[in-house]
Amino acid sequence: MTTFYCVRHGKTEFNLNKTFQGGGIDSPLLAEGRAGATLVGNHLKAVPFKKVFVSPQKRAQDTAQLILNQHSQSLKLETIDDLREMGFGSWDGQPESNYHHETEFQHLVHQPHLYDPSHFGGETFAAMIQRGKLVFQRIAKEHPEDDILIVSHGLFLQTLLKDLQGIPLSEIRQGSFLDNTSVTTVISSDEGQTLTIDTWNDTSFIP
């Protein structure tokens, strides 16, 4: 079986300031985010990863490198563009509070099955899920017995992993969100067609 260790990037300035930080923008890791990534590295340093796949966005790249700096193996980052965060179009880089009154913001947060970002150039949940599924399925098919490290983004990972468990889109935003530098472990024995959650949003290694 393939075991995916899915890590959300470290906390950034935009996370702190509640600014939209989607697939088209970046902000630096805070000291807290860098420290969290190092703790992830210590937590996972004995896992015999076969591959490390990471989003092209700098906050994920920096997080992944800090994790690998603690690892017992010599591993290299492999960038996959489709591991990037959901794109928010013209909302990217703007304070979330600017849009609290808008219908699509409410849909994004509470009713994702109704979310339509077409008028501001954003990405749909369906498009994000589709690209994510193809990535996970390809990796699982190529590495059916391996441990794989994925460093990516909160909304992307939460949405995709819940979808692959068969949870309907209308319920994907329910329950706990993925914290920065959390580890979610998922297992697939059918080439990524379905995933079984082993651990969800584990931050037990962070003081």
Q: Write out the binding residues for substrate.
A: 8-15, 59
Mark the binding-site residues, compressed into ranges: 8-15, 59
Residue written as tokens 């068969």? 166
Half-sphere exposure of 42 toward its Cβ, with a 13 Å CA cutoff? 11
What are the CA-CA distances from residue 92 to residues 89, 100, 141, 190, 201 (Å)? 6, 14, 34, 36, 25
Edge to edge, the sheet with strand 147-152 lists: 77-79, 49-54, 147-152, 2-8, 183-188, 196-202
Structure tokens at 27: 């902000």
Q: Is 9 a catalytic residue?
A: yes
Q: Is 191 a catalytic residue?
A: no
- Active-site choice (9, 71, 143, 153): 9
- Active-site choice (43, 71, 85, 153): 85
**Would you name the residues annotated as active-site residues?**
9, 85
